[in-house]
Amino acid sequence: MAGLDLEAWYLAEAPKVRRYLAALCRDPALAEELTQETFVQALTSLRGYRGGGERAYLFGIARHVLAGHVRRDHRRKEAEARGACEPPEADSPFAVGEAWLPLLAPDDALVLLQRAVWQRPFAEIAAELGRSENWARVRYFRLLARIRSDLAKGADDDDA
């Protein structure tokens, strides 16, 4: 995609991406919004593009954008159903996070928050912390493993 004319690219591919998303979500207004988000994501991740079909690249991003929207919408509906004033349940991820964050090193807390809550790419997290993308990935997955392990130990202690 070297020497890409962004406007021509958008005008040529946006209708196809919009139809694809409309077929998946069955909401034309949402499909339009997600199409725009798809192109924003495509442009921000263009540096990582490894070649191949441009349409496949866009459709893959569109699928991820739709999946993220569905997850956020589901969380929002759950929060509304719970009521804004109710505290989270003791075994909810939010309660677990509140208990864990003060125990983590500042860099670890930032990695966990930015990836798990804000869904930022590892490359952005690493750049902000002055580390490599691989470091951010490894750190995040080790933190998750550590939290899961401690939660499993806590569940075993409760059963005993």
- Domains of the chain, residue spans: 1-86, 87-160
Q: Which CATH number fits domain 87-160: 3.30.230.70, 1.25.40.10, 1.10.10.10, 1.25.40.80?
A: 1.10.10.10
**Is pTM, for the whole model, over 0.75?**
no
- Choose between 76 and 18: higher pLDDT: 18
Domain 1-86 is in which class? Answer: mainly alpha
Continuous H helices in 28-160: 28-44, 54-82, 93-100, 106-112, 122-129, 133-159
pLDDT in tens, 81-130: 766 544 445 455 556 666 677 778 888 888 888 887 778 888 888 988 89
Cα distance between residue 37 and residue 65, in whole Å: 7
